[in-house]
Amino acid sequence: MSEFMRPLGLDEIGGGIERRIAANPEERAALAARFDVRALDRLEAVLTAAPAPGGVRVTGRVEGDAVQACVTSGEDVPARIDEPVELLFLQNLGPDGEEIELHEGDCDVLPLEGRSIDLGEVAAQTFGLALDPYPHAAPEVLAAARRRLLSEEEAAAREAAEKAQANPFAALKRNS
């Protein structure tokens, strides 16, 4: 089950229908966990569903604001998503297991299962795919973080000192 369900019945589409959707705080929290982001402050979309030969075409735009963790320093990295959507849901994608050949200009093709499509899941997947898989903090944030980090030699020396301190015989050695 999707964290952000906004079903649209095929019988509601008619000649075409536009929907504006936005995730509420609980949905955003669940999606933040799903996409492993620190926060998801906004997720909204304006999507149009229209009949297409053999299915439904969904077009529109997904926008969102999130906070990711820098892959280098762990610092917060703001992410602003503004992504176009163009999907084609088809009734019959071909024989089971057969791949469909797409050309560069083609939109993504998904199977149309049942009598509805989930616009919330369309928005969520579009958002997730648009996130930077390797977010990096700004150079000045990284520089500040590096000043707090230890070199490998410093970390090794600190670890050795902590091990020596934790050794039960270290107290005897100090007292003698």
Contact 88, 57 (CB under 8 A): yes
pTM for this entry: 0.75
Cβ neighbour number for residue 157 with a 10 Å cutoff: 12
pLDDT digits (tens, 9 = 90+) for 111-162: 998 899 999 999 999 999 999 999 988 877 767 766 676 678 877 888 888 8
| Nearest CA-CA partner of 62 in 80, 78, 74, 46 | 46
pLDDT score for 101: 55
Report yes or no on 26 lying in a domain: yes
pLDDT score for 83: 97
Report yes or no on 31 lying in a domain: yes
Number of domains forming the structure of the chain: 1
Cβ neighbour number for residue 34 with a 10 Å cutoff: 14
pLDDT score for 130: 97
For 14, the token pair is 């008619």
For 102, the domain range is: 7-137
Report yes or no on 144 lying in a domain: no
Chain centre distance of CA 71: 15
pLDDT digits (tens, 9 = 90+) for 87-96: 999 987 655 5
Report yes or no on 2 lying in a domain: no
Report yes or no on 149 lying in a domain: no
pLDDT digits (tens, 9 = 90+) for 9-41: 999 999 999 999 999 999 999 999 999 999 999
pLDDT score for 104: 44
Residues listed for the chain: 176
DSSP, res 8? E
Report yes or no on 173 lying in a domain: no
Report yes or no on 108 lying in a domain: yes
For 41, the token pair is 């402050």
